[in-house]
Amino acid sequence: MKKNMGMADRVIRFIVAAIFAVLYFTGTVTGTPGIILLVLAGVFLLTSFVSFCPLYAPFGINTCPTKHE
């Protein structure tokens, strides 16, 4: 798995995951939409930690900065 996410993407996904978790655990979003948000939060956290987004690969998106040698 080659990294395809830059630091900005990772931080944004982490913040969005935190917001989704807060919305769920405070009871603001409940039921099926709440579970969906919680699952999305988990996916966002996982992709943020591994720096790889499987949806970026088929579209050729790479926000990871390249190293100029």
Query: Is residue 21 one of the residues assigned to a domain?
Result: yes
Of 3-12, 23-32, 49-58, 59-68, minimum mean pLDDT range: 59-68
Max intra-chain CA distance, the chain: 51
Query: Is residue 12 one of the residues assigned to a domain?
Result: yes
Quote the domain boundaries for residue 35: 7-51
Per-residue pLDDT of 22-47, as tens digits, reads: 999 999 999 999 999 999 999 999 99
The pLDDT mean for the chain works out to: 92
48 closest CA partner among 1, 6, 13, 3: 13
The Cα-based distances of 10 to 22, 27, 63 in angstroms read 18, 26, 10
Domain count, the chain: 1
User: Angle CA(43)–CA(44)–CA(49) in degrees, nearest 5?
Assistant: 100
Query: Is residue 62 one of the residues assigned to a domain?
Result: no
With a cut of 60, say whether residue 69 has pLDDT above it: no
Query: Is residue 26 one of the residues assigned to a domain?
Result: yes
Per-residue pLDDT of 44-54, as tens digits, reads: 999 999 999 99
